[in-house]
A and B are shown apart, each in its own frame.
Chain A
Amino acid sequence: MLAQLLINTLQIGALYVLFSLGFTLVFGVMKVINMAHGEFFAAAAVVTSFLVGLMTMQLALPSWLVYLAASIIAAIVVCIIGALVYLFGIRFYIKDLVGSFILSVGVLLVIQGAVLQGFGGAPRIVPPIFDGTTEIFGARITTNRLVISLAALLITFATYLALQATRWGKALRAVAEDAEAATLQGIPRRRVSFVGFMIATLLAALAGILTISLAPITPAIGEEYLIKSFIIVIIGGLGSIPGAVIGGFSIALIESVVGAYWDPSIATIVMFALVIAFLIFRPQGIFGRAA
Chain B
Amino acid sequence: MRLERLTAGVVTAALIAALIAFSSLGPKNYAVVVLVWIAINAVLAAGVRFVMLIGEVNIAAGTFFGIGAYAAALLTTRTGVPLPLALLAGALAAMAAGAFVGWVTLRTKGAYFFLIMFSFAEIMRLAATQTLAIGGNDGIIGIFPPRELAPWFPTVIVVVCSGCLVALWAAERSILGKLFAAIRSNDRIVQTVGINVLGLKITCLALASLVTGLAGGLQAHLNGVIGPNDFTVALGVYALAYSKIGGEAHVIGAVMGAAFLTIVGQYTAGFNNLELILFGGAIVLTMVLFPRGLLGLVWVLQSASSADRRARVR
Contacts and interface: CB of A to CB of B under 8 A. Distances in A.
Interface of A: 27, 31, 33, 88-89, 92-93, 97-99, 101-103, 105-114, 116-117, 227, 230-231, 233-234, 238, 265, 268-269, 272-273, 275-276, 279-280, 283-284, 291
Contacts of B276: 109-110, 112-113, 116
Contacts of A105: 237, 241, 280, 283
B119 A272 contact: yes
Interface string B22-65: 00000000000000000000000000000010000100000000
B280 A265 contact: no
Contacts of B188: none
Given A97-B114, A107-B284, A291 B244 contact: no
Interface in B69-128: 104-105, 107-112, 114-116, 118-120, 122-123, 126-127
Interface in B267-314: 272-284, 287-288, 291
B240 interface: yes
A277 B253 CA distance: 36
Given A103-B283, A279-B105, A291-B111, 18 more contacts: A88-B288, A98-B57, A99-B291, A101-B57, A105-B280, A105-B283, A107-B280, A109-B277, A110-B281, A113-B273, A114-B273, A116-B276, A233-B115, A234-B112, A265-B129, A268-B126, A269-B130, A283-B112
Contacts of B52: 98
B287 A93 contact: yes
Chain B residues touching A, majority SS: helix
B284 A113 contact: no
Given A272-B123, A273-B123, A103 B112 contact: no
Nearest to B268: A113
A231 B119 contact: yes
B287 A291 contact: no
Contact of A27 (B104, B111, B129, B244): B111
A174 to B, nearest CB: 20
Interface of B: 52, 57, 104-105, 107-112, 114-116, 118-120, 122-123, 126-127, 129-130, 237, 240-241, 244-245, 272-284, 287-288, 291
Contacts of A265: 126, 129-130
Given A99-B287, A110-B276, A269 B115 contact: no
Contacts of A109: 276-277, 279-280, 283
A102 B240 contact: yes
A269 B123 contact: yes
Contacts of A273: 123
B277 A234 contact: no
Given A98-B240, A105-B241, A110 B119 contact: no
B63 to A, nearest CB: 13
Contacts of B275: 113
A276 B60 CA distance: 14
Contacts of A101: 57, 114, 240
Q: Which of B112, B241, B275, B281 has the most CB of A within 10 A?
A: B112
A276 B287 contact: no
B281 A106 contact: yes
A272 B280 contact: no
Contacts of B272: 116
B287 to A, nearest CB: 4
Given A102-B287, A230-B118, A269 B126 contact: yes
B262 to A, nearest CB: 16
Q: Which 4 A/B pairs are nearest by Cβ-Cβ distance?
A: A109-B280, A113-B276, A106-B283, A113-B277
Contacts of B107: 280, 283
A92 B292 CA distance: 12
Contacts of A27: 111
Contacts of B115: 33, 230, 233-234, 238
Contact of B104 (A89, A92, A112, A280): A280
A101 B282 CA distance: 15
A97 B111 contact: yes
Contacts of A31: 111
A291 B119 contact: no
